């Protein structure tokens, strides 16, 4: 009797231990442990993402730099920038000699008015080189002068482009272009182009400096 009681008690104890083991397997599976460890990881990820405000720091630096980019150049600063500039004008491409002569003369005059020094073709101290490409097209009673200026540094890198067109009354109608079209272009038209070119070049220098 006593032996059967002992056996029964042993069986009950064994069943209780088995129940505890099964409960442990259910309450503490490996699948539950990761969330406990991943919760800090998630917080750690959030902490790592806190530099996401660092991404907001990027806009901050952008906006901080914006005022510098938009700060206007004072007249004194603009004058100093132009005074340091030595502009070399390359031979004009596309225009006739008759049209290029008043253009070149006005480029020199306008540059002097703006405080820009012109450098000779062999001058090694030039800070900028200006190369111009021209064409003239006559349509009916009008002739249109199309021009493109490329601004280079002394190493040959293109820094800026100036382009435009200007209409002039045509003396010879019916021309479709070529050398005859240039005969319809007055010196005043080429001088106006020269003025616009130097003014836009000066504006480029001021904008680049700011």
pLDDT in tens, 138-158: 988 889 999 999 999 999 999
Of 3-12, 90-99, 141-150, 157-166, the poorest mean pLDDT is in: 3-12
In this structure, whether the domain defined by 78-209 belongs to CATH 3.30.160.150 is answered with: yes
pLDDT tier for residue 12 given thresholds of 50, 70 and 90? very low
Q: For residues 172 and 180, which has the higher predicted lDDT (pLDDT)? A: 180
How much of the chain, in percent, has pLDDT values that exceed 90? Answer: 48
Residue 123 in contact with residue 86, Cβ under 8 Å?
A: yes
User: What is the pLDDT, as a whole number, of residue 206?
Assistant: 86
Q: For residues 62 and 101, which has the higher predicted lDDT (pLDDT)? A: 101
């Amino acid at each position: 009797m006593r032996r059967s009681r002992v056996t029964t008690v042993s069986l009950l104890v064994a069943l209780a231990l088995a129940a505890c083991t099964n409960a442990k397997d259910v309450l503490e599976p490996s699948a539950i442990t990761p969330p406990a460890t991943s919760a800090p990881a998630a917080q750690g990820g959030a902490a790592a993402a806190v530099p996401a405000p660092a991404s907001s720091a990027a806009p901050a630096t952008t906006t901080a730099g914006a005022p510098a980019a938009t700060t206007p150049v004072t007249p004194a600063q603009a004058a100093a920038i132009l005074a340091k500039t030595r502009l070399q004008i390359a031979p004009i491409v596309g225009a006739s000699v008759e049209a290029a002569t008043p253009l070149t003369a006005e480029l020199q005059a306008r540059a002097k008015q703006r405080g820009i020094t012109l450098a000779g073709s062999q001058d090694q101290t030039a800070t900028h080189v200006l190369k111009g490409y021209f064409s003239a097209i006559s349509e009916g009673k009008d002739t249109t002068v199309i021009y493109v200026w490329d601004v280079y540094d002394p190493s040959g890198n293109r820094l800026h482009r100036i382009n435009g067109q200007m209409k002039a009354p045509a003396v010879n109608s019916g021309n479709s272009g070529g050398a005859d079209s240039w005969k319809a272009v007055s010196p005043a038209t080429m001088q106006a182009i020269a003025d616009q070119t130097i003014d836009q070049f000066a504006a480029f220098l001021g904008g680049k400096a700011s």
